[in-house]
Amino acid sequence: MNNTDRNTQILLQLINGMMVNMNINNIMTTEDFETDGLKTAKEKVQQDIAHQKQKRDHYYAKKGGE
């Protein structure tokens, strides 16, 4: 299991526990409503992905394009 999978599983467990503690039985999906906070989080993740790609591309360019 890689770090992303592990972190995703941890988040699922945490959110499920919070929902149980808060007596939340159902949710509104992002199809119905997307908060500004979720939009911000998505933008941050996209920026992080682009940054990692840029670092990776730079690394391979330095190594001679392998």
Residue-level pLDDT at 66: 55
Q: What is the 3-state secondary structure (H, E, C) of the chain?
A: CCHHHHHHHHHHHHHHHHHHHCCCCCCCCCCCCCCHHHHHHHHHHHHHHHHHHHHHHHHHHHCCCC
DSSP secondary structure of 45-59: HHHHHHHHHHHHHHH
Residue with tokens 């499920």: 16
Q: Which residues, given as ranges, of the chain have pLDDT below 50? A: none
